[in-house]
Structure 1
Amino acid sequence: MDSALFNIFIGTLICILCPVIFRYLLSSALNSQPLHQFYRKAWGNAWPVRSGTLTKDEIGLAPDDEELFGVEIGPGVQGYLCLEHIKLVAKALRLATNVQDILVLRKQYTTILSMLIETSQGKERIVVLTGQPGIGKTTFLLFILLHRLQRRLPTAVQVNAEQFIIFDECGVSVYDAKIQMHQDNTLCRRLSRCWALCDSNQNLASPCLTIQLEASFVIITSAPQPHRWQGLLKQMGGTVSFLRLPNVMDSIGAVIKELQLDTEQTLSLVSKWGPSVRTVLRILQDPTRASRYESDVKDAAQALARADYSQVFFQSQYGLLPTLAGSDLVFVDTDPDSQFNHECSILIPTAFLRNLVVQASMNLSAEKAFDLFCTLGLSSHSLPLSSAGWSHEKATYERLITF
């Protein structure tokens, strides 16, 4: 054979075989032992669960000058259920988000799941679940996965841009996220029966095209950053639902107790930093983090003092939303009477955080301070502050009524 023709033949053969070999190696590497162990443990089986009880006496007291706004504490005695071995799930999925080894089942979870099931039977194919960062959206996705696998319901999962996983009666398989649908008819048949669960994070903005087009129903958990999913919803159709802020007892105190941390600090930490499971756990596990959080919220308050509101919150079609930099100061919540809400509101949930805003407002003109207070829903009648905070706020409002 002519050497030039031979080289062309070899080059063509390499071009044909390389993608096939790459997909085979990727599938072999990712169809790993942890993934198959997880499938055998979860498919058709109840996941290990234990029960617990928490009392209000266990979560301690808030300081006298601290108060919570728009946050539920919970009943005097709170029973709860807790799924175990969650790190095994995270390892099998190669989840980038750090999760605890336990998953406390919030009462809100079953309500949202019922509404997702109802939605999946209608015209909407995509639902984005979003809300305040650090309240456990990724763990809710894991709850849905375990719920479905126990009932032998076909489910796909995507947590990064490189791959997705399918669990069904045929077993568990890993696919290249860039695979073309015409390359694998079996994949299309399997995926068309699946709910697809996608965790939007720094490694994945939105689900791959194959999931978008072929999955029966798609659930995306995401930070409240519409640029991640607005284009997808506009193109494919779908809806957004905001999750409520967590209850102190069943969503924060119970987690702290199960992790054998100091439950008596629960209410004092939530009353200062707000109902963020992530923030409270990080401070309990490493108290030096508190100074870092304090610096961040003071920076956000100073941005408000410069009237640089875009650094802290922004207007969206769903309502005001906090930026990533502002989310430790300004929280996003939704209607307390609804568990599945398409609109949201922002609030500053603690007196400590509100004091920072009041103090920062002293640098604003009376007109801008008034505008800021109205935007954030703050008033002298809704701010139980410390003595110093009251002095600052009183001076601010005296200026406001004189302009």
Structure 2
Amino acid sequence: MAPMLTLFCLVIDNQKVPIGNILMLQIQSDSYTPNLRNLIKDEMAPELDHLAANRLVMWKLLKPLDIRRMEDEGSFDATIKEIKLPDPKSNQASRRNGTAEVLRQIEELSVYWETSPKKGHLHLIVQVPSVNTPESIKIDLVRGTADRLYCTLWKKPLNPILAPVVVPDPKKTYMYVPQDQLSKLGVKHLDYEEEALLFRDEYILAHKAIKEWSKKRRTEKSGGVVITGHPGLEMNAGKTCFLLYLLFHRLSKGLPTAFQFLPDSFVLFTNSGVKVYAHTFDELPDGTWALANCSAKDPLPCDSFLVACRSRDAFVVQTSSPDEKRYKTWRKEYKAYTYVMDCFPLTESVALGMIHGFNDQLIKDHCEKWGPSAHIMMAHMTNPDRISRHMECVKQAAHHFVHNFGDYITDVNPTEVSHTLFTIHPKGLSSEDRQSSIGGIETSYLNRILMDKIAAKNQQEQINFYKLVSQHQWFKGSAGYILENVVLSRLCADPESKGLPCTPAQSDLPQLTIPVCQGHLNLSYKEQHSLEYLNRIRRPFCVIPTSKTSATVDATIFMDRHIITIQVTVASEHSVKETGFDEAENAKSLVKNWKSSDLRIDLMDKGDPKGKQTQNDPKVKETESNPKGKQMENKPKVKETLRISMYSAVFNVRDFSPIKSEEMWEKYRVKDTEMFEEDETPEGREVVGEAGNSNEVKMDED
């Protein structure tokens, strides 16, 4: 049997004033420090009844004090005041080179005393933290919140606390927890200050992925997942709120769940009830999900979570900004997964805004201009004065990105590129693609601000910028989008520019010069009723698709003898699948519906890069009576008509003349409403000549 220890102990407050008399404690040396704390609390009843035992801080005096001598000299209180007790969380507190050493949260007492120390001396000082400290108040409030959550949700349906919100166009219903229910539950003490909790579709997908990963925690030896995504989205954005969503669902199903609310404190929900672990360590039941939200100050889950993660008893779900520095170390050590959460789609942004009483059309207009950030949307909606400040932030971010990108291209992360300009998305929707992210510019308005900064650079600087950006997985898509807008603006709105060289996708076709088009149409390839108007427009002109669903066609140029489909690329080489139309059925449909009395369109197609002949005879014309161009017996051959080749052209950054100044850029830049908005009526469509001048579509005489 382990020897019995006899320790003399004094309990003091934060001002080192004794609380009660010296205690004589007897405890076995193989007991642990939590056992000693519980013994002290029991001996000090009722003075410490208001306090959890794990909040007591115990100090071993490295030089025990002679109790009788201090009493005889009348120096007892003064001597206690002179004892230096450092911050118990500091490294100095655990060193044995001062006057006292802090006892660890969990440690066998024999580490500190193998046998009973010298009798008649003070061996142990116990500090009682102030009851009214912010931390102690928070712990008490969390304890009350945890009790309410357990009573309301444990093994009970969520429907009683949910309310619906219906988005009108397109019609869709979302569920959310309204403000009155959140107030009753007291979740603000879990650091949730919003007026509602929207249940996003993204949460359902993430929840499903985490359930699959948690089942494999022992076979694949992974103990957790880091949930990350677009920075700056703390307002109902999907990271902090997602933990609350998980907590609600786990409680409703009666599943063991731990929720961390301080760096070293958490609350545990089990079949046995609720227990708050403040400043202490404890084992978690098997199958527990341990929910933690990291910050720059406290990037790691608490010790109890990490120990359970290592043993695979629990599965840690930590939310974090996309800055890998916060979670890279523990994720690597514990082989945790990463899950990149996507931004709000438009319907969810509208739903969130409607919950807060905002007009759905105003929300749509805002998102079309500023992007999908729920944080930015709510900030602007609640305080319009912030918009002008936000505009300055966007311009500064664009300037920084263009002028400093080369300095950190090899080690850039999303937090270094302002989220006001770029939006971070998962690479894809599969669980594997969710573990990496890409960046993008969401709106043409933000894109144009960035283009203005690029315009200030000379030709070589612009080329170098595009090349650098295209090398990074996050931004190469944005680089292509930027260049595409530059090219389309050049093609459609600069009457003084020279034509642009066109490199055909098929090497055996000759090079062409793409002319500057004085007119352009914003046309959906699905607008079959509008195609008849194309034949009446004076060539050359440019058709820009209003929908970016085609993977290979950015624009189509109609000339007298050629039709050129434009693909803009920032890469040094670019291959178009087959002829570039495997994924561009809409573009093919556009050409097939071209009508002309004296022109025939020969479509390039698989296996025939020079142009597909009509039923093997180039002299046979398609007519309404002979729609497929079949050879007819005893019929004279139709005279060969003018042939139009269809080019799938690759336009590279090195081929174009740069914008020389912001002033010149402003001269011929095409506005959003002129480039991308689709006119509902085919009659009276507008084309753009010089910037800002809208003219009626010029028609050839019938």
Q: TM-score, normalised by structure 1?
A: 0.79
Q: Counterpart in 2 of 1:323? A: 415
Match of 2:439 in 1: 346
Quote the residue 2:545 is aligned against: none
- Deviation of the 1:136 alpha carbon: 2.4
Paired residue total: 366
Contact 1:126 / 1:219 at 8 angstroms: preserved in 2? yes
Query: What pairs with 1:158-237 in structure 2 (closer than 5 Å)?
Result: 158-177=260-279, 179=280, 181=281, 187-188=282-283, 190-202=284-296, 204-215=298-309, 216-237=314-335
What is the distance in 2 between the residues matched to 1:150 and 1:118?
A: 19
> Could you say what secondary structure the match of 2:343 adopts?
coil
1:120 deviates by 0.3
Q: Deviation of residue 200 (structure 1)? A: 1.6
125-134 or 365-374: bigger deviation: 365-374
Pair 391,330 (structure 1): closer, same or farther in 2 beyond 3 Å: farther
Q: CA deviation at 1:202?
A: 4.4
Q: In the alignment, residue 51 of structure 1 is paired with which amino acid?
A: P
1:364 paired residue number: 457
Letter in 1 for 2:325: H
Alignment partners' CA distance in 2, 1:11 and 1:193: 45
Q: Which runs of 5+ in 2 are unaligned?
A: 1-66, 81-119, 470-474, 499-651, 659-702
Is 1:49 the counterpart of 2:166? The answer is no
Structure 2 residue aligned with 1:307: 404
Measure, in 2, the Cα distance between the counterparts of 1:391 and 1:231: 52
1:2 counterpart = 2:68: yes
Given residue 368 of structure 2, which amino acid in structure 1 is its aligned partner? Answer: S
Q: Using the alignment, how far apart are the partners of 1:102 and 1:363 within structure 2? A: 45
Alpha-carbon distance in structure 2 between the residues aligned to 1:55 and 1:278: 22
Pick the structure with more strand per residue: 2
Match of 2:222 among 124, 128, 132: 124
Aligned partners of 1:363, 1:87: CA distance in 2, in Å? Answer: 51
For residue 79 of structure 1, the aligned residue among 146, 160, 173 is 173
Tell me the residue number matched to 1:62: none
User: Cα distance 1:237–1:26, how it changes in 2: closer, same or farther (>3 A)?
Assistant: farther
Give the Cα–Cα distance (whole angstroms) in 1 for the partners of residues 655 and 452 of structure 2: 14
Q: Which amino acid aligns with 1:333?
A: H
Greater CA deviation, 229-238 or 27-36? 27-36
User: Does the 8 Å contact 1:355/1:385 carry over to 2?
Assistant: no
Report the Cα offset of residue 160 of structure 1.
3.2
State how 1:78-157 maps to structure 2 within 5 Å.
78-85=172-179, 87-88=182-183, 91-92=186-187, 94-96=189-191, 98-99=193-194, 101-122=195-216, 123-133=221-231, 134=233, 135-157=237-259
SS in 1 for 2:413: strand
Higher mean alpha-carbon deviation, 213-222 vs 333-342, is at 333-342
Match of residue 14 from structure 1: 125
- Displacement of 1:370 in angstroms is 2.8
Does residue 1:401 correspond to 2:401, yes or no?
A: no
Aligned match for 2:340, one of 237, 242, 257: 242
Report how far residue 213 of structure 1 moved.
Answer: 0.9
Q: TM-score, normalised by structure 2?
A: 0.47
Instruction: Identify the structure with the greater helix proportion.
Output: 1
Q: Is the 8 A contact 2:174 2:199 kept in 1?
A: yes
For 1:381 and 1:117, locate their aligned partners in 2 and report how far apart those are by CA, in whole Å.
Answer: 42
- When Rg is computed on C-alpha atoms for both structures, the one with the higher figure is 2
Residues 137-157 of structure 1: per-residue CA shift (max 9 Å, x gap): 111111111000011111111
Q: What is residue 72 of structure 1 aligned with on the other side? A: none
Which residue type is aligned with residue 2 of structure 1?
R
User: Equivalent of 2:147, from 36, 52, 55?
Assistant: 36
Q: 1:217 to 1:337 in 2, by over 3 A?
A: closer
Deviation of residue 2 (structure 1)? 2.5
Query: Displacement, 1:222?
Result: 0.9
Map Cα deviations across residues 249-284 of structure 1 (whole Å, 9 max, x no partner): 0x2111111111122211111111110111101111
Question: 1 or 2 for the larger relative contact order (CA 8 Å, sep ≥6)?
Answer: 1
The C-alpha deviation readout for 1:203-237, integer Å capped at 9, x for no partner, is 53121122111251001111101000001112222
In 1, Cα distance between equivalents of 2:271 and 2:256: 7
Tell me, in whole angstroms, the C-alpha distance in 1 between the residues paired with 2:357 and 2:487. Answer: 32
Separation in 2 of the partners of 1:287 and 1:10?
68
What is the rounded CA distance, in whole Å, between the counterparts of 1:160 and 1:385 in structure 2? Answer: 53
Distance 1:143 1:387, change over 3 A: same
CA drift at 1:33: 2.8
Does the CA-based 8 Å contact 1:161-1:203 persist in structure 2?
Answer: no
Sequence identity, in percent?
21
Alpha carbons of 1:163 and 1:245: their partners in 2 closer, same or farther (altered >3 Å)?
same
Q: Hey, what does 1:73 align to over in structure 2? A: none
In the alignment, the residues of structure 2 paired with residue 239 and residue 32 of structure 1 have an alpha-carbon distance, to the nearest angstrom, of: 31
Query: CA–CA distance in 2 between the matches of 1:161 and 1:265?
Result: 40
**Structure-2 separation of matches of 1:321 and 1:146:** 32
Alignment CA distance shift 1:368-1:232 (3 Å): farther
